[in-house]
Amino acid sequence: MPLDIEAIVKPLTDLAEPVVGTISDTWQAVIGDRIAVWRLMNALNLQKKVSEQLLSNGLIINSTQIPERYAFAWFEKATEQDEPEIQELFARLLARAAEGDADAIDRRHIDTLASFTPTDAVVMKKFYEHGCDRPRQMFDDEEIDPQIEMDETHFHFSIKKEMGSINAWKAIEHLLVLGVIERSFEPHQDTLSTAFSRGKSGYGTLWPNKLNFTLYAKLSATANGWSLHRALD
């Protein structure tokens, strides 16, 4: 005789219904109000920071510059932030968007910034500061961002004293995941020249008998990274 799954499950679901309702009510009482208050406090802190940003830049919120979709997305993510450093960046993003800044109004930056930790923000700023003194170039009537390429180990070494080695690596990895920077691998020139060194005949070998390249990781700027940096700088 085949098992009647429905007959077995129904008494359990009937029994669970009042329990589920009770659990729902309990969680709403314990967490629901706390979340509402938490987000309200975050909103109040953000309002203050946005006002400070506007005042310091001599700006007035121009609602016509901010699409509703952007405003809703910003408010949804911004009120989930309780770290002052990230709140400051969200406030700056909105102030720049209100000014009509083309980079700040890109709503993809809202999701990226919502994933940031304060350490991520510091590391991104330090990375892109290496290219801030170089202007954007025109190519086929389009502005091209300056190129930034850094040895990953050297960059990590330059920031680890400030935030610790592990936190520095975590921030670099997270920025890579978010597409704020990108990584590539290249052989060192000395190992490459050794591998393809000239033989006794004086001719370079077409391919080395033994591949022994030393690869190094290189960090580079991305279009999204440059755009976010400009929006927050």
How does pLDDT run across 155-211, given as a tens digit for each residue?
A: 999 999 989 999 999 999 999 999 999 999 887 665 555 555 554 455 555 555 555
- Between 6 and 32, the more confident residue is 32
pLDDT at 17 over 90: no
| Percent of the residues in the chain that have a pLDDT greater than 70, as a whole number | 69
Place of tokens 């909105």: 94
Domains of the chain (ranges plus CATH)? 1-114 (no CATH), 117-233 (1.10.10)
Report residue 120's pLDDT band, with 50, 70 and 90 as the boundaries: very high
Residue 9: its pLDDT value, please? 44
Residue 22 has pLDDT above 90, yes or no: no
Which of 21-35, 66-80, 86-100, 146-160 is the least confident region? 21-35
Strand locations in the chain (E): 137-139, 142-144, 149-151, 181-187, 215-221
> Does residue 140 have a pLDDT over 80?
no
pLDDT at 1 over 80: no
**Residue carrying structure tokens 């910003």:** 74
Using alpha carbons, list the distances in angstroms from residue 102 to 152, 188, 203: 30, 39, 55
